[in-house]
Amino acid sequence: MTVTRAEYCVIACAEAWRDNGEVLASPMGLIPALGARLAKRTFSPDLLLTDGEAMLVGLDGTVEGWLPYRQHLTMVTGGRRHVMMGASQIDRFGNQNISCIGDWARPKRQLLGVRGGPVNTLNNPTSYWVPKHSARVFVEKVDMVCGVGYDRAAAAGPGATRFHRIPRVVSDLGVFDFATPDHAMRLASLHPGVTVEQVREATGFALHVPHEVPYTREPTSEELELIRSVIDPQGARRREVDG
């Protein structure tokens, strides 16, 4: 059976937590949640997961610990966590917005608010997931910087850069990182079936594209079996990403 786009996305999200060791994986959104579970079931067994509320749970849901919000925030500032957040807007240096669209003083569209974007980005690795890659999300300049990008962290000084890291951005089109000299966003891999041109058209800023762009890796047969039969047997992943 052919691998679907949603399955490549799950794999690409799972890869964010490879070699992270014994840290809390905080996936926000369905595909990142599937990815975190896949990583824990395969190459990153030491990851910690929550039930979405205050309990640390194993893959079968068995409670192994307690993590109310107050302790969760210490997990963030202590750095033993890798979060994958959503982004209503994200720019070329990884500044992210989930607060509002338009002028903050009188927003055109009020969204969630900054939430934990500022604390996450300055304290623990923060990756992003964008289920529908478009120039409305990948913008030249975000309307409100919630998650701090590389340029803004650098401008704010060593207190801001000390623990700042954005390992990757995963979208329905590919994987992106900031492995360029000025930490501008780079196309790291294309999901099979996607072209560089498609990504360029759907991105509102000049994206760094290397000469050779690899494809997102294939899932192993074990991984595919786990996604389809164990982690997401109902196929909920298809609701977030077509194909």
What is the contact surface with another protein in residues (CB under 8 A)? 53-55, 66, 68-70, 73, 76-77, 99-100, 104-119, 121-123, 144-148, 152-153, 155-160, 162-164
Burial bucket for residue 103 (CB in 10 Å: 0-12, 13-18, 19+) = exposed
Polymer length in residues for the chain: 243
Give dist(CA 73, CA 167) in Å, integer.
20
In terms of CB distance, is 116 or 174 closer to another protein?
116
In terms of CB distance, is 53 or 60 closer to another protein?
53
Residue reference for tokens 């903050």 = 104
169: left (phi over 0), alpha (psi -120 to 50) or beta: beta
In terms of CB distance, is 106 or 211 closer to another protein?
106
In terms of CB distance, is 8 or 178 closer to another protein?
178
Give dist(CA 223, CA 84) in Å, integer.
20
CB 151 within 8 A of CB 176: no
235: left (phi over 0), alpha (psi -120 to 50) or beta: left
Give dist(CA 133, CA 162) in Å, integer.
30
DSSP state of 215: B
In terms of CB distance, is 80 or 228 closer to another protein?
80
